[in-house]
Every structure is written in structure tokens, then in C-alpha cells.
Structure 1
Amino acid sequence: MRSVIRPPAWPPRIVRELAKFGTVGGVAYVVQLASTNVFWLVLDAPPLAGQALGVLIATVVAFSGNRFWTFGHRARTGLAREYALFFVFNAVGLGIQLACLAISVYALGLDGPLAQNIAGNVVGVGLGSLFRFWTYRRWVFPAQPDPEPQPAADAAAEGPGPAVPAREVEPS
């Protein structure tokens, strides 16, 4: 008899978030790819500088899409806090991209436009995106807090609950 291995069932919410994150990321990726190549090919910027500037432009696009659409249903913890964390985690994501590009260009000597695009814009973006999704979900746009349990006094004010038999008191 053959056993079938099924992938784990993901909750619908995370599937929707991943789809939206991918869409926003796709738009930001096109912006980043276009701007990075403009910096490299038109403005003759050095590889790492062109990559960093392209990522910076795409980050502004990605923040808006992720804050208002991908994670719009999550808790709002303040624009300044979210923006600061978003850029900090994007800086780490950029570091991942730049490390991939630097290894390709400086360690492996693969410095042509195709090699730069594969290293920085395929491998680097892929690894950076995994990191970004996890950190955005966990820290930048946290889940709504669970409602706190009501104290007994508040619960009694809401009305009668289930009937509880009275205890008899023994005479002393």
C-alpha cells in the first residue's frame, strides 16, 4: 500500500498574507530591478551602490503596500514605529542581498550584468524576502492582541450566567 504525503495545511489567513506579500513584493521587485539597472547601466554606479539605491526606492513602495494591504488587518502600532522597524529589517534584508552580490562579484569574479542580476536580484532577493516576511509578520505588523478575559465583576454586570447551585450553610 502506498502512503500519500500531504503538505501541512496552512491557515487561510497566512495563505492570503503570503499572496498579498508576494504581489506587493512583485511590484517592489520590478521597481527595484528597473531602478538598480538604471543606476548600473545608465548612471554607471558601482555594483553595491546601485543595488542599495534600487532597494531603497523599492522599500518605500513595499512599505505602503504591506502596511495598508498585506497586513492591513493587523494591529496598528504607530506609523513611526512601523516605519522604523520596516526600514531596519529591510536594511538586514539588503545586507543579505549585498552579501550574495559581493560573493558573486568579489569572491567568485562573476561581475557581468547577468551574474550581478542573478546574485543580487534573484538569490539575494529570494533569501531577503523570506527574512522580510517573517520579520514583518512577527514584529512590524503584529497580530491583533487577543481580548483580555473579563474580571468577575465585569462578567456579573453583563447578566446572569449559567445557574450555579447555592451551598447550604450548616448552623453553628
Structure 2
Amino acid sequence: MTRDQEGTSHPRPGLFGALVDRFGHLVRELSKFATVGGLAFLVDFALFNYLASGRQMPPLAAKTISTVIAATVAFLGNRFWTWRHRQRSHPAREYALFFFFNAVGLGIAVGCLAVSRYGLGRIWPEVFQTALADNIASFVVGTGLGTLFRFWSYRRFVFVEAGTPPVPETSPDRESGA
């Protein structure tokens, strides 16, 4: 929608304008979600590699710890920036649902890592039991699939759209017979 000098909204002309009018809010949400996710990804990536190589921690434990910390960063960014315009429910409810869906996302990433390292790694250990293979399985495949799931679940269940307020039973229009 475009606004004229009086502030009246008008639909944008053409197919592109119609698409922007219909999906512009979704594109803005997705862009913010991607920015927050990028920051959380960097936290996850750096911590995972630090813990897995510097601390000689097993890859699955390192991934679990790095994901929990990155998820906290993502929760704060999404609650207070990406979906700040949405209705707020009890913070404990949002946080619990956010971490539940992050646990599912973590399961997706850890599952991809486990399939790569322990499934394919048994067949080709020189290829799939390397730091590069762990990073590709975890951060490219696992994070990609997990991100799609998380965007959908946060938008649908965690940061819910504000509902339309109910119409009162007695309104001036009903009393006047209009």
C-alpha cells in the first residue's frame, strides 16, 4: 500500500505491487528473523568449534551446548525485534515454547550430524569423520532444515498474531437499527 499526501492508503499498481501488499510483512519478518538467526548462527558456530576442538569435547555435546547458548541469543532478538509487534503472552510460556521448538531444531541438526559422522562415517571415515564434514552436516544441512522448521513454529505457536478484538453485543449501530 502506498499513502498519498492526506495519508490515505492505496494499493500499489501491478503484479509486483500486489505481491508487496500481500507478502511485504512476511518478507520483513523473514529478514529480521534471518538477521537474528545469523547472529545466533555465529555464536553457535564459534562456540561449537571452540568446544569441539579447543576443549576436546565430543561433537554432539559441543553442539548441544553451543545451540542452547545461541538459542538464548535468538529468543531475545526474536522477541524484542523480529516479532515485537505481535501480541505478548506470558514470558515463561513464550520462553518454554521457544526452547521446545529449538530442541526440535537441535534434534534436526544433531540428527544430521549423527547421520554424517556415525552413519556415513562408518562407510567413509576419511570423509565423514572430519571437522569439515561435521560443520557441513551440522551447520549447512542441519541448520538449514532446522531454520525452516523454527521460523514456521515460532510464527505459528510462540509469537502469536494479535487477534481481532471481539465486537461488543450492544453497539451504537445495533441500537439505532442501522
TM-score interval, normalised by the smaller of the two chains: 0.7 to 0.9
Aligned mates of 2:29, 2:162 — CA distance in 1: 14
Instruction: For residues 21-43 of structure 1, give each alpha carbon's deviation from its aligned partner in whole angstroms, at most 9, with x where no partner exists.
Output: 00000000000000000011100
- Using the TM superposition, give the Cα deviation of residue 148 of structure 1 relative to its aligned residue in structure 2, in angstroms: 1.2
Change (3 A) 1:160 1:78: same
- Give the CA deviation at 1:161: 7.0
The equivalent of 1:166 in structure 2 is: none
Q: CA deviation at 1:156?
A: 2.3
Identify if the C-alpha distance between structure 1 residues 161 and 39 changes in structure 2 by more than 3 Å, giving closer, same or farther.
farther
Structure 1's consecutive aligned runs of 4 or more residues displaced over 3 angstroms after TM superposition are 157-162
> What amino acid is aligned across from residue 77 of structure 1 in structure 2?
S
How far did residue 139 of structure 1 move? 0.5
Deviations 1:85-127 (A, max 9, x none): 0000000000000000000000000110000000001100000
- The root-mean-square deviation of aligned C-alpha atoms, in Å, is 1.9
Match of 2:67 among 55, 79, 87: 55
SS of alignment partner, residue 56 of structure 2? coil
Q: For residue 166 of structure 2, what is the aligned residue in structure 1?
A: 148
1:121 aligned to which of 139, 162, 176: 139
Quote the Cα distance in structure 2 between the aligned partners of 1:54 and 1:94: 10
% of aligned pairs identical? 51
Within 2, Cα distance between the matches of 1:23 and 1:63? 13
Q: 2 CA distance for matches of 1:139 and 1:21?
A: 15
1:56-71 equivalence runs, <5 A: 56-71=68-83
Q: C-alpha distance in 2, partners of 1:74/1:86?
A: 15
Could you list the runs of 5+ residues in structure 2 that have no partner in the other structure?
A: 1-15, 122-127
Partner residue in 2 for 1:95: 107
2:117 corresponds to: 105
Select which of 132, 140, 154 maps to 1:136: 154
Unmatched runs of 5 consecutive residues or more in structure 1: 1-5, 163-172
Using structure 2 for the length normalisation, give the TM-score: 0.82
Distance, in Å, in 1 between the alignment partners of 2:84 and 2:65 is: 27
Which one has the bigger helix percentage? 2
Number of residue pairs the alignment of both structures matches:
154
> Normalising by structure 1, what TM-score?
0.85
